[in-house]
Amino acid sequence: MSQHPRDSNRPEADPFTERTPRVVAARHLTRRQGRDKAGRFLVEGAQAVREALAWQGGEVHELFVTATAAERNTALLQSASERGIRISEVTDKAAESLSETVTPQGIVAVCDAVPRSLESALQGTPRLVAVLHGVSDPGNAGTVTRVADAAGADAVIFAGDTVDPHNGKCVRASTGSLFHLPIARSRDADEVFAACRQAGLRLVAADGYAKQDLVEASANGDLAQPTAWVFGSEAHGLPDDVVAKLDTSLRVPLYGAAESLNLATAAAVCLYASARDQRN
């Protein structure tokens, strides 16, 4: 195909601008309300788009690409074209209007939303699940999703008043992991906890003030059990009333002078501790 793709229905047309109706419609997906209404979201960057194309859980509806990005990603666009996905060339300004980054990459896909129902995400016999409760920073939420994927977790659940997993920064921080494992979300945290227990998971709070730490829990064999780790907000952690609803709480031991670990780092330590013990 040409290095400068045009919409298949308008082969001689100029690139779409930021005012072209389809670009305007796609721009609504940069806001949560627009995403929820359409059931779709935007994926930016060649690697993330490549992961979206390989995803079996939904459909890629359209690609917007600048001429420069098209020249850099001919194989990717060829793959999309062979699958019948509409590819539309856009101006740099139009690409910027669809981007939530300082330096747009010039290639954006419109994809089906990823979340499943709680029952679907937790089907079978899950052994390791990450639950994000009240996490507001999209970069942290996306990074925890990436960590959960790397640790072999069975699902990630966005619970309560937590950032949208389709938020542009969250999608970028997940580096494609959003497409690798089941994602569910529910504003009802109690519903999430009940579903995890129904799936046979022990609910464990990651709490910097817990009496027991990961080392002790590992020595007792506790981390080898099927576990849903519950992580709280960056600033305040988990509220006391939420911790009280869970089965236990554990802290990451701090051997140096640091006051605490950030959310994504703590989640990596906790999830890998469980992953290690479950595989021994």
User: Max Cα separation, the chain?
Assistant: 69
Element (H, E) at 128: strand 128-133
Report in angstroms the alpha-carbon separations of 32 from 20, 40, 118, 183, 251: 21, 10, 20, 17, 33
The helix/strand/coil state of 112 is: strand
pLDDT at residue 278, rounded to an integer: 97
Give the number of other CB atoms < 10 A from CB of residue 209: 11
Which pTM was predicted? 0.91
Residue with tokens 């910027």: 96
83-120 pLDDT per residue, tens: 999 999 999 999 999 998 778 899 999 999 998 999 99
Task: Show me where the domains of the chain are located.
Answer: 21-112, 118-279
The residue length of the chain stands at 280
Mean pLDDT, residues 24-30:
97
Note whether 21-112 and 118-279 share their fold: no
By percentage, how much of the chain surpasses pLDDT 70? 95
Pairing of strands 107-112, 86-89: unpaired
Residue 273 tokens read as: 């501790």
Task: Calculate the average pLDDT of the chain.
Answer: 93
Spatial CA neighbour of 65 closest among 79, 178, 37: 79
Q: How far apart are CA 145 and CA 156, in angstroms?
A: 7
CATH topology of domain 21-112: 60s Ribosomal Protein L30; Chain: A; (3.30.1330)
**What is the domain class of 118-279 according to CATH?**
alpha beta
